[in-house]
Chains A and B, each alone.
Chain A
Amino acid sequence: MPRTSIYKRPEDGIVLVDQERCRGYRVCFEACPYKKVFYNHVTRISEKCLFCFPAVEQGILPRCMRNCIGKIRTFGHVGTPETAREDNPVDFLVHFRKVGLPLYPQFGTEPNVYYVPPVHVSSEPFLKMMFGPGAPKAIETYRNAMEGGDKELLGVLLLNVSSDRIISKFKIENDQAIGWDDSGEEVARVPLKEPTMVRPAYDGALSAYRYNIT
């Protein structure tokens, strides 16, 4: 951008708009294909999501990920194809199972936000336009995991935001997915199949009917 107000932090790849340098030209605001930059009407300069870098610096996931009911986002270091580690959850999703795909790869922006394509969109050309030629295969891989055909992928997805800590290593063991943070501490352990309990509608001890809510 004209004043190079946007910079990428070498330590974690987080992209920020320098609030001291930006002069509110709105050139990046206009150009960003992902609509990431927005204009602050009061300060008259531009801002963007800062990936909760103060949290990330402490190994904690960004707030939108921690607060998400659906736990649909995760965060971690992604390696280049030749340095990717199979036990790194993000590498596993992006480089090994290839269910995490870049948005609009044809723009050549080499984005570092990856998406699992929506499984209920039936238009293949649309999916390919958004996520590239690997979109149909990614959906097939995802569906297979959901149906129990890929324990590792299921485990990685279940580990998503099972802890506030950023998980950098995982392993599937005894039908459990285990996650470790950067310091090697175990921060999450989830069963591949959640135990369920069905209670009778009538509770004889209390002589009361009750509804099963979950």
Chain B
Amino acid sequence: MTDSDTKVEPEAEPTAEEASRIDRRKVLIGGAAGAAVVAAGAWALTNDTKRKEVVTEVVAKRVDKVPIDDPDSSNWSKASAATIALDVQNMAAPMKAKPFVPTVEVKSLHDGTSIAFRIEWVDTERNELTVPCDGFRDSCAVLLLPKTENLGARIMGTAAEPATLLHWKADWQLDVDKGFQDLEVAFPNTAFDYYPPITQPGDPIERPDVVIPDSYEAVEGKVPGTVWLPGYHVGNPISNAKKTSSVEKLLAKGFGTAMTQATQDAVGKGVWADGSWKVVLAKPLAASDDLETALTPGSTYSMAVAVWAGAENDTGGRKSPGRDLLTLRLERG
């Protein structure tokens, strides 16, 4: 987190809502003893959510159109907020001994075609870069399974009933918003002569001789230049430099089995403000891949949520999953 991320001054006379936000921001970042105040702010916010009743049902309200890429859309006020308790992850390595935050707030909307979830949680440190070795991203996920009380939701699905996952990643969001974050983001003074860097049209750095590896000149005319970026070459979505969505759709048959899906039709948007992430994750109700959980208005399903904190090096199983078995109910219509 840099100062430039947080020092936002209002230009015009703020509305009441904005004023309250700005006040909170001042509490969060103001003053010389910034770190201590940030911690106090986080405590105040988490205590605020603690006072809300923890529930185990998420209701997807029917609206005309779901705001699939806008966490601040006014449509979200039509959804009922569910406060979901988070827990430790002590079933599979790497584990997490203490949840990053005690609760998250989950809202859901559907429009008969698509369903969207909005997850909001307190995270005073924004972590979006995975370029450095010690850079871990903030992220969150929604898991969907057929039937209610489905114990597979505890273990990321089973071979018999695979779970559909929507996984939003802060570094992907940054790639989508600002273009691929290449090596020089983490290492501004780095120099290389033959390693094919991934650049994009409009790249602010002048590098006339380099292009996206797809068209990188083949070595001795036999293999494409992408072989020097193995993850990219084999189509690993983590290594994809040309991201179009910050949400990945996966299928899992238990811990450690999550696999990206052929049809990447999940979308979303995450916005960090005032020491909190607000993230929308959305997908079509209908299943577009084999074994994907298809959703029908008027029906109920099992779901789960999880949050990863880059500040605590969270990754993979090192996450804060939901404590209770959650039910997802889609309103009729």
Is chain B found bound to chain A in the same assembly? yes
Interface residue ranges, A against B (CB under 8 Å): 2-4, 19-20, 22-27, 29, 39-45, 47
**Binary flags per residue of B188-225, CB closer than 8 Å to A gives 1, else 0:** 00000001011000000000000000000000000000
CA of A23 to CA of B167, assembled, Å: 13
12 more contacts with CB within 8 A, not counting A42-B195, A43-B232, are A19-B233, A19-B234, A20-B235, A20-B236, A27-B94, A27-B315, A41-B131, A42-B182, A42-B183, A43-B236, A43-B239, A44-B231
- Is B31's beta carbon under 8 Å from chain A? no
CA of A27 to CA of B132, assembled, Å: 15
- Is B92's beta carbon under 8 Å from chain A? yes
Chain A hits for B171, CB < 8 A: 44
CA of A43 to CA of B256, assembled, Å: 20
- Is B286's beta carbon under 8 Å from chain A? no
CA of A26 to CA of B94, assembled, Å: 11
Give B263 Cβ to nearest chain A Cβ, in Å.
17
Chain B hits for A2, CB < 8 A: 92-94, 255-256, 316-317
Chain A hits for B232, CB < 8 A: 42-43
Contact, CB under 8 Å: B133 / A26 = yes
Interface residue ranges, B against A (CB under 8 Å): 92-94, 130-133, 136, 171, 182-183, 186-187, 195, 197-198, 229-236, 238-239, 255-258, 315-317
CA of A101 to CA of B236, assembled, Å: 38
Contact, CB under 8 Å: B132 / A40 = no
Asked whether A42 and B316 contact (CB < 8 A) given A22-B231, A24-B130, the answer is no
- Closest residue of chain A to B231 (Cβ to Cβ) is A43
Chain A hits for B93, CB < 8 A: 2, 27
Chain A hits for B132, CB < 8 A: 41
- Closest residue of chain B to A17 (Cβ to Cβ) is B230
Asked whether A3 and B316 contact (CB < 8 A) given A43-B232, A43-B238, the answer is yes
The secondary structure that dominates the A interface is loop
Chain B hits for A23, CB < 8 A: 236, 238, 258, 316
Please pick, from A3, A19, A39, A47, the residue contacting B256 in the complex, using a CB distance under 8 A: A3
CA of A44 to CA of B258, assembled, Å: 17
Contact, CB under 8 Å: A41 / B186 = yes
Chain A hits for B136, CB < 8 A: 26
CA of A190 to CA of B92, assembled, Å: 54
Q: Considering residues A23, A25, A39, which has the most beta carbons from chain B within 10 angstroms of its beta carbon? A: A23
- Closest residue of chain A to B316 (Cβ to Cβ) is A25
CA of A42 to CA of B232, assembled, Å: 9
Give A161 Cβ to nearest chain B Cβ, in Å.
25
Give B132 Cβ to nearest chain A Cβ, in Å.
7
For the complex of A and B, list the 3 residue pairs with the smallest distance between their C-beta atoms, beginning with the closest.
Answer: A43-B231, A43-B239, A25-B316
Give B169 Cβ to nearest chain A Cβ, in Å.
10
Chain A hits for B257, CB < 8 A: 3
Chain B hits for A4, CB < 8 A: 256
Chain A hits for B236, CB < 8 A: 19-20, 22-23, 43, 45
CA of A40 to CA of B197, assembled, Å: 12
Asked whether A24 and B238 contact (CB < 8 A) given A41-B183, A42-B197, the answer is yes
Give A12 Cβ to nearest chain B Cβ, in Å.
19
